[in-house]
């Protein structure tokens, strides 16, 4: 194997590792939130530094390879995708920390009543993240497409939570602060799902060379 | 580790020195052969080369002051005529060989030309005698020219071919790609590019035939007087040297030496001209 | 931005939306008994740059050299199929007129051992194009088109070999342009040049395509990516894929193309 291919492989490995780290942080953030697990909360904050480190290393390797190899076709799509996925993963890590920050305040308080809870939303987001990472590992465009499709469900849950929290704020002014936290948490979970969707779109670009972002393509190009 | 001179080193250096000296000695022998001939000619012929030599006719043995004007003019006539016949034929044959000849046929022509080049000149003379002199019952300058042109043709053809082939193929294609027909390409690009080499090989060819004796003995024969037209026996320097040198008269021997000196001088001039043409800047990029 | 402009379809079948200048149909070509081209069919779009890439010996140069029939000057060659220029078969027409209309620039600069002026005027002269025209004007126009005028105008009557390699190659382009060709074929024109001379020629080609159709064979894939509108990939005497250059380098449809351009060939 040529050195370039070895390096592409190690870049791929680094992205998978970072993905696992980010997925873990997201899982722990959700746990810290719904099970009030303080250890997890601290761990998420600690792991963010490692995730940032990964981001820098991956960008460095990817840009070096672009400069050195002038990649084309599949190689080019992989490297461009890697840089974008890298950014998405790092943002997801930030969001996990953001969730944990809000979770700290609710650690020792009882939960607000919710129609659809964070457990459900968290599970759905986590599964989107894991699926997008699986799609990346397996270079599976169909799997990636399923992530994109489930993004709508997350948007709906977030809207439900927001609406409910606004009601609570209106009825009980003393709850405004906590309700606002809930709104922000829902927003961050939804952002994580958005990043998972971005990763899925990048995987489709890597595999098929098609840009499916912003729903510009008529029909469903993946099934072609 | 200290650098030492081993016995093996010493032996190798000695062999090296001996062999290098040997090549220098051989090079010196080569050069000295030429200078010995030149010196000998100058010594023996120099005295007899005077104005008379270039303007007077040969005299009978014992009479002083004769020259070889008729032989100089005769040689010039024969060589110029041979060039007029042989150079164009050789030149066009060379173009054919380099540019058009099919593989097998080209090989045949090339091989034939090389054989013709290697035929002893006396045989060429006999041939010319058979086809020109005997049917017309007449020795003549024309017959001599024909014999010499037979020698000039293969030299010119092979020389032309060689220098044409040295013109890069891409130059041919450059002209062809502009819409030039093959013949135009050859005459306007390839031949001009090979001009210096072709001219050099032509000059050397002419120099070579101007010294030939044997073909002339059977054809132009020789003449003590001015020849009356191309169909008459004609004097030439090489034949004159032969007849004068083999005659038993001392003053004829001196004249023979002088003729030899003049002939050699002419060949030198031709050679040097050819060298100058070549060295006046390479005509092609390397 | 108009969303439809973002749309790209990797299967956009023929790269030729533009009118077709030359078309090869089922071309087979033989050097003696060796078949160098296998059933090549390729359209060359008018006023576009068409690049041909592929490993050494893949037939890309051989194909190019059939487009102006210069391969005929080699011994023992044979061609089958049809090549058209503006719809007319070129294989049975007068070859000198074909070559006047389809110019060629070679791998190494091959100026004639003449002055710069004479090099350029050579084509118009032998094609009888000088009648009623000013030779000096033709020379200036051609040199300007080849972006060589400023560098050469003060030494028009000096030997072409006084120019640098890159300038010599631009002189050869100027010489080819002097007979107003409709198509310009270039056979690895930059392989003997340094990067700066190469960049100049690439800029030149992109500027020239308004005036003529350009076909370039290159070993340098970046060069194809930079200058070509469409790119064809040749392998073992076959045309594997011909598509928009963007598509070839971002998302080729054939495995062989991808392997070659990403360096995994062989």
For residues C50-62, give the mean pLDDT: 93
Beta carbons of B178 and C126 less than 8 Å apart: yes
Contacts of C70 in chain B (CB under 8 A): 173, 176-177
Give the pLDDT band of residue B165 (cuts 50, 70, 90). Answer: very high
Residue of C224, C251, C258, C264 to mutate, interface with A, max A Cβ within 10 Å: C251
Residue of C31, C110, C119, C125 to mutate, interface with B, max B Cβ within 10 Å: C110
Contact C175, C120 (CB under 8 A): yes
Please give, rounded to a whole number of angstroms, the shortest distance from the CA of B179 to a CA of chain C.
Answer: 4
Digit-coded pLDDT (tens) for B29-38: 999 998 998 8
Looking at residue C17, its pLDDT comes to: 64
Residue of C4, C223, C233, C250 to mutate, interface with A, max A Cβ within 10 Å: C250
User: What's the domain count of chain A?
Assistant: 1
Using a CB–CB cutoff of 8 Å, tell me whether C56 touches chain A: no
In a 3-state reduction of DSSP, which class is residue B190?
helix
In a domain, B97, yes or no: yes
Please give, rounded to a whole number of angstroms, the shortest distance from the CA of C243 to a CA of chain A.
Answer: 13
Looking at residue A215, its pLDDT comes to: 63
Q: Which of A79, A55, A77 is nearest to A65 (CA)?
A: A79
Looking at residue C223, its pLDDT comes to: 92
Digit-coded pLDDT (tens) for C96-127: 999 999 999 999 999 999 999 999 999 999 99
The dihedral built from the CA positions of residue B30, B34, B39 and B44, taken in this order, carries a sign that is positive
In a domain, B11, yes or no: no
Mean pLDDT over all residues of chain B?
A: 87
CA C184, distance to chain mean position in Å, is: 5
- Residue from the list A4, A70, A209 with its beta carbon closest to the beta carbon of C251: A209
Digit-coded pLDDT (tens) for C222-239: 899 999 999 999 999 999
Looking at residue C11, its pLDDT comes to: 37
In a domain, B28, yes or no: no
- Residue from the list B173, B181, B193 with its beta carbon closest to the beta carbon of C106: B173
The 3-class SS string of chain A reads CCHHHHHHHHHHHHHHHHHHHHHHHHHHHHHHHHCCCHHHHHHHHHHHHHHHHHHHHHHHHHHHHHHHHCCCHHHHHHHHHHHHHHHHHHHHHHHHHHHHHHHHHHCCCCCCCCCCCHHHHHHHHHHHHHHHHHHHHHCCHHHHHHHHHHHHHHHHHHHHHHHHHHHHHHHCHHHHHHHHHHHHHHHHHHHHHHHHHHHHHHHHHHHHCCCCHHHCCCCCHHHC
Higher pLDDT, B26 or B140: B26
| Tally of CA atoms within 13 A in the half-sphere of B54 that contains its CB | 7
B211 backbone dihedrals φ, ψ, rounded to 5°: -95, -5
Rg (CA), chain A: 19
Contacts of A29 (CB under 8 A, 6+ apart): A40, A41, A44, A96, A97, A99, A100, A103
Could you tell me the residue ranges of all domains in chain C? Answer: 18-261
Beta carbons of B188 and C106 less than 8 Å apart: no
Using a CB–CB cutoff of 8 Å, tell me whether B193 touches chain C: yes
| Residue A139 to residue A132: CA distance in whole angstroms | 10
Digit-coded pLDDT (tens) for B100-158: 888 888 889 899 989 998 889 889 989 988 988 888 888 888 889 999 999 999 999 99
Using a CB–CB cutoff of 8 Å, tell me whether A72 touches chain C: yes
Q: Which CATH architecture does the domain made up of C18-261 adopt? A: 3-Layer(aba) Sandwich (3.40)
Q: State which residues form the domain around A183.
A: 3-212
Please give, rounded to a whole number of angstroms, the shortest distance from the CA of B116 to a CA of chain C.
Answer: 28
Contact C216, C49 (CB under 8 A): yes
Using a CB–CB cutoff of 8 Å, tell me whether B38 touches chain C: no
In a domain, B30, yes or no: no
Contact A43, A167 (CB under 8 A): no
Q: State which residues form the domain around B225.
A: 72-279
pLDDT at residue B252 greater than cutoff 90: no
> Quick one: B279 exposed, middle or buried, by C-beta within 10 A (0-12, 13-18, 19+)?
exposed
Contacts of B84 (CB under 8 A, 6+ apart): none
Looking at residue B49, its pLDDT comes to: 82
Length of chain B: 286
Beta carbons of B178 and C70 less than 8 Å apart: no
CATH number at residue B197: 1.10.3720.10
Kind of pairing, strands C88-89 and C77-85? antiparallel
pLDDT at residue C246 greater than cutoff 50: yes
Distances in Å between the alpha carbon of C42 and those of C39, C72, C82, C188?
10, 20, 11, 19
| Residue B139 to residue B51: CA distance in whole angstroms | 29
In a domain, B106, yes or no: yes
Looking at residue B285, its pLDDT comes to: 46
Please give, rounded to a whole number of angstroms, the shortest distance from the CA of A210 to a CA of chain C.
Answer: 7
Contacts of A221 (CB under 8 A, 6+ apart): A208, A210, A212
- Residue from the list A2, A5, A211 with its beta carbon closest to the beta carbon of C6: A211
CATH number at residue A41: 1.20.58.220
DSSP state of B58: P
Chain C's closest residue to B102, CA to CA, is C75
Please give, rounded to a whole number of angstroms, the shortest distance from the CA of A205 to a CA of chain C.
Answer: 10
Digit-coded pLDDT (tens) for C131-172: 888 899 999 999 998 889 999 999 999 999 999 989 999 999
Looking at residue C4, its pLDDT comes to: 41
Buried b (16+ CB within 10 A) or exposed e, B57-72: bbbeeeeeebbbbbbb
In a domain, A164, yes or no: yes
Beta carbons of C100 and B168 less than 8 Å apart: no
Looking at residue B82, its pLDDT comes to: 93
pLDDT at residue C16 greater than cutoff 60: no
Digit-coded pLDDT (tens) for B52-66: 888 888 877 777 777
pLDDT at residue C48 greater than cutoff 90: yes
DSSP state of C153: G
Q: Which two tokens stand for residue B246?
A: 């083999």
| Residue A124 to residue A147: CA distance in whole angstroms | 10
B with C: how many residue pairs have Cβ under 8 Å apart?
71
For residues B84-107, give the mean pLDDT: 90
What is the model's pTM? 0.78
What own/partner pairs with CB < 8 Å and gap ≥ 24 does C159-162 have?
A: C159/C113, C159/C114, C159/C115, C159/C116, C160/C111, C160/C112, C160/C113, C160/C114, C160/C115, C160/C116, C160/C119, C161/B285, C161/C111, C161/C113
Percentages (nearest 5) of helix, strand, coil residues in chain C: 40, 25, 35
Degrees to nearest 5, angle at CA C186 with C184 and C188: 170
DSSP line for B124-150: HHHHHIIIIIHHHT---HHHHHHHHHH
Give the residues of chain A that fall short of pLDDT 50: 216-219, 223-224
Chain A's closest residue to C221, CA to CA, is A72
| Residue B112 to residue B110: CA distance in whole angstroms | 5
């Amino acid at each position: 194997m040529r050195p370039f291919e070895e390096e592409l492989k190690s870049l791929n490995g680094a992205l998978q590792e970072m993905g696992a780290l980010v997925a873990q942080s997201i899982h722990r953030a959700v746990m810290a939130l719904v099970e009030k697990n303080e250890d997890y909360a601290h761990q998420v904050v600690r792991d963010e530094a490692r995730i940032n480190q990964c981001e820098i290393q991956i960008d460095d390797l990817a840009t070096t390879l672009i400069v050195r190899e002038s990649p084309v076709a599949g190689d080019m799509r992989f490297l461009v995708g890697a840089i974008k996925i890298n950014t998405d993963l790092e943002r997801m890590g930030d969001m996990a920390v953001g969730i944990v920050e809000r979770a700290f305040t609710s650690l020792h308080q009882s939960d607000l009543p919710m129609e659809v809870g964070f457990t459900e939303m968290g599970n759905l987001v986590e599964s989107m993240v894991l699926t997008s990472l699986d799609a990346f590992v397996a270079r599976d465009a169909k799997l990636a497409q399923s992530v994109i499709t489930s993004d709508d469900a997350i948007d709906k849950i977030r809207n439900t939570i927001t609406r409910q929290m606004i009601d609570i704020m209106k009825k009980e002014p003393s709850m405004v602060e906590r309700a606002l936290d809930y709104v922000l948490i829902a927003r961050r979970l939804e952002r994580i799902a958005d990043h998972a969707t971005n990763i899925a779109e990048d995987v489709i670009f890597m595999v098929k060379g098609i840009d499916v972002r912003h729903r510009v393509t008529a029909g469903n190009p993946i099934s072609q | 580790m200290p650098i030492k001179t081993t016995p093996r080193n010493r032996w190798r250096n000695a062999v090296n020195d001996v062999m290098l000296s040997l090549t220098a000695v051989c090079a010196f022998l080569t050069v000295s052969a030429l200078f010995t001939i030149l010196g000998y000619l100058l010594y023996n012929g120099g005295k007899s080369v005077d104005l008379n030599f270039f303007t007077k006719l040969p005299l009978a043995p014992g009479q002083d002051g004769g020259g070889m004007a008729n032989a100089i003019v005769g040689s010039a006539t024969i060589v110029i005529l041979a060039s007029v016949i042989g150079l164009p034929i050789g030149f066009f044959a060379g173009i054919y060989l380099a540019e058009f000849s099919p593989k097998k046929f080209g090989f045949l022509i090339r091989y034939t030309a090389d054989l013709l080049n290697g035929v002893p000149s006396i045989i060429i003379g006999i041939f010319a005698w058979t086809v020109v002199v005997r049917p017309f019952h007449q020795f003549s300058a024309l017959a001599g020219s024909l014999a010499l042109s037979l020698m000039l043709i293969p030299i010119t053809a092979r020389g032309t071919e060689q220098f044409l082939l040295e013109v890069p193929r891409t130059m041919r294609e450059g002209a062809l790609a502009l819409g030039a027909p093959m013949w135009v390409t050859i005459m306007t690009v390839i031949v001009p590019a090979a001009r210096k080499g072709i001219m050099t090989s032509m000059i050397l060819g002419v120099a070579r035939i101007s010294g030939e004796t044997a073909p002339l003995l059977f054809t132009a024969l020789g003449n003590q007087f001015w020849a009356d037209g191309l169909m008459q026996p004609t004097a030439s320097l090489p034949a004159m040297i032969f007849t004068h040198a083999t005659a038993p008269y001392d003053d004829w021997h001196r004249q023979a030496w002088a003729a030899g000196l003049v002939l050699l001088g002419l060949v030198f001039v031709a050679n040097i001209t050819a060298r100058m043409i070549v060295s006046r800047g390479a005509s092609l990029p390397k | 931005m108009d969303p439809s402009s973002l749309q790209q379809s990797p299967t956009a079948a023929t790269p030729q939306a533009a009118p077709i200048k030359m078309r090869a149909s089922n071309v087979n070509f033989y050097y003696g008994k060796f078949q160098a081209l296998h059933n090549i069919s390729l359209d060359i779009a008018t006023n576009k740059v068409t690049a041909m890439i592929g490993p050494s010996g893949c037939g890309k140069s051989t194909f190019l050299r059939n487009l102006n029939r210069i391969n005929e000057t080699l011994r023992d060659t044979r061609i089958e199929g049809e090549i058209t220029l503006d719809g007319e078969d070129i294989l049975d027409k007068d070859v000198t007129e074909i070559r006047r209309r389809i110019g060629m620039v070679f791998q190494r600069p091959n100026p004639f051992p003449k002055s710069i002026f004479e090099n350029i005027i050579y084509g118009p002269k032998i094609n009888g194009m000088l009648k009623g025209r000013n030779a000096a004007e033709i020379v200036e126009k051609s040199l300007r088109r080849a972006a060589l005028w400023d560098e050469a105008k003060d030494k028009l009557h000096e030997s072409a070999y006084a120019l640098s390699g890159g300038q010599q190659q631009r002189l050869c382009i100027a010489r080819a342009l002097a007979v107003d060709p409709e198509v310009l074929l270039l056979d690895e024109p930059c392989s003997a040049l340094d990067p700066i001379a190469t960049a100049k020629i690439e800029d030149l080609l992109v500027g020239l395509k308004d005036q003529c159709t350009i076909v370039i064979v290159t070993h340098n894939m970046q060069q194809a990516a930079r200058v070509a509108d469409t790119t064809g990939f040749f392998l073992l005497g076959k045309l594997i894929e011909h598509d928009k250059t963007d598509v070839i380098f971002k998302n080729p449809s054939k495995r062989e193309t991808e392997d070659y351009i990403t360096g995994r060939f062989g």
